[in-house]
Amino acid sequence: MPASNRIKNQHLLWRAAFGPMAENAASLDTISQKDLWALLVKTSAKPVQKLEVTKNPADEYMPGMTDPKEMEKVLSNQELRKKLREQSRDDLKKGNLLWIETMVNSEAQLREKMSLFWHGHFACRSQNSFFAQELLQIIRSNALGNFGDMLKAVSKSPAMLQFLNNQQNKKSHPNENFAREVMELFTMGRGNYTENDVKEAARAFTGWAFEPRGGFVVRKFQHDDGSKTFLGKTGNFDGDDILNMLLENKQTANYISRKMYRFFVNENVNEQNQQWLSKRFYANNYDIAKLLEDIFTSDWFYDEKNIGNRIKSPVELIVGIRRFLPLQLENDQSQLLLQRALGQVLFYPPNVAGWPGGKNWIDSSSLMLRLRIPQILSANDAMDIRPKTDDDVQMGQMMQAVKKMKEAVKGGTATIDWAAVNAIFEKVQRDKLLETITATVLQTKNKVSNAVLDKYINTESRENFIRSTVVNLMATPEYQLC
């Protein structure tokens, strides 16, 4: 039996966005996938509003200074460095929560979802909150634009140059870290270049750096202007030449389109469909919006085998719940604890390869917490988790997150607008209510047994029935999939 119109639309919203929002969920039975896709594109076409939580510290502590040596001297002050580190930690938390709120509430859902994808692709940990903020702005501004433009802007950002040590890449002592990761993780993928290509590319990137204000500079006296051989071509290449040659190589289009297929469609890649995407992406000069259109308007994207097979990342899970259950959470710090306990903290990827995703999101302790979140948020927390006697760090973090979330609920700071949720089902007959709610909350073919649900559903009123059914369905392993 083919998927219903609603399931297909929810599939599109979970993959190209962060799931349906309560206020528009009722319309998903009738709107076509074509019209829904057009709406996602339209609402993400407006100019990007910067998520700004901090100003450039140079403007505050080095106003009017232009001499790099004088600026470096100011920044070398130990007390100032300590103050800036503490400020950056706070700012990164603020930036994290501001971006979460944007994912939940912005109508530019396609842009924010793509930004989350690129945030993992161009994975970077910067202890400088201003640099991290500017990198996110580059990603969000280019998320639906041209991949080549974004690659070049990211490669010249102070956050990435610092993270991958290119500030130390000098003619006399080439540092290969940046050159290697640009090829292995950002463009072609491992196995499509040689160690000599890494060495030669590193020479081309010598001198690429940033000055104390964060502006990109090429330090000419530190740049190796000798002849280099890269990917079979020889010349006096600089960093821009290397990036251009990587974009000219069809393997880059293949690597990016394959990664996007695994993220947006299915971890088990259909080679024919992926190769079609790769050729189109290259022919369209790395136009990201056109690649997404090729994915989300194809018939095969809506094949049953591609629906309900993907484990939601922690951020997708948190944001998706909050979109369907309109939520006011004054103690928003608990979301940082949840991210940490579940293994995905924005701005803190585990390494330059980003979050591995897939089944790596789930282990015994994280699944336990995932299943608890809807009940904790709805103040319907009937269970009590007790850690094992050999409590480990991860379980300890999970317990802390549960405790903080409970505190938020008990303090009256977590409230759900259940009227908006009830409105989704106001035209549904009582005997069809359970079936309709299940089809709205879950994307999987395997449905939760009605006999099991009957044990936990509150039937005192229609409102209580809807509320308890939604919460209990969200607290199932099936809800972890989209």
Task: Provide φ and ψ at 316, rounded to 5°.
Answer: -60, -40
User: Rounded to whole angstroms, how far apart are CA atoms 167 and 160?
Assistant: 10
Rounded average pLDDT over 112-131: 97
- Given a cut of 90, whether residue 342 has pLDDT beyond it is yes
Check residue 378 and give its pLDDT: 82
Name the strand (E) or helix (H) holding 216: strand 216-218
Q: Above pLDDT 90, what percent of the chain?
A: 80
User: Which residue, chain included where needed, has tokens 């929810």?
Assistant: 10
Query: Lowest-pLDDT range, 83-87, 138-142, 230-234?
Result: 83-87
Q: What is the dihedral of CA 28, 31, 36, 38, to 10 degrees?
A: -170
Rounded average pLDDT over 398-426: 73
Residue type at 391 in one-letter notation: D
Rounded average pLDDT over 144-149: 98
Pick the closest to residue 290 from 146, 389, 158, 415 (CA basis). Answer: 146
Query: Lowest-pLDDT range, 211-215, 249-253, 427-431, 438-442?
Result: 211-215
3-class SS at 221?
Answer: helix
Torsional class of 207: left (φ above 0), alpha (ψ -120 to 50), beta (otherwise): left
Confidence of residue 412 (pLDDT cuts 50, 70, 90): very low
For 172-207, what is each residue's pLDDT tens digit? Answer: 999 999 999 999 999 999 999 999 999 999 999 999
User: Rounded to whole angstroms, how far apart are CA atoms 340 and 314?
Assistant: 9
Could you tell me the CA-to-CA distances from 253 to 108, 110, 193, 416, 449 in Å, in that order? 26, 21, 15, 44, 44
Q: Above pLDDT 70, what percent of the chain?
A: 93
- Given a cut of 70, whether residue 410 has pLDDT beyond it is no
User: Rounded to whole angstroms, how far apart are CA atoms 465 and 17?
Assistant: 28
Q: Which two tokens stand for residue 252?
A: 């880059």
Pick the closest to residue 342 from 404, 301, 397 (CA basis). Answer: 397
Rounded average pLDDT over 353-371: 94
Residues 6+ apart with CB under 8 A from 246: 151, 182, 183, 187, 188, 252
Side-chain-facing half-sphere of 114: CA atoms under 13 Å: 27
Rounded average pLDDT over 358-362: 96
H helices of 239-287, in order, are 239-248, 250-264, 271-283
Could you tell me the CA-to-CA distances from 118 to 50, 141, 346, 478 in Å, in that order? 16, 11, 12, 27
**Averaged confidence pLDDT in the chain:** 92
User: Rounded to whole angstroms, how far apart are CA atoms 182 and 462?
Assistant: 56
Check residue 190 and give its pLDDT: 97
For 375-405, what is each residue's pLDDT tens digit? Answer: 888 864 433 333 334 445 555 655 666 666 5
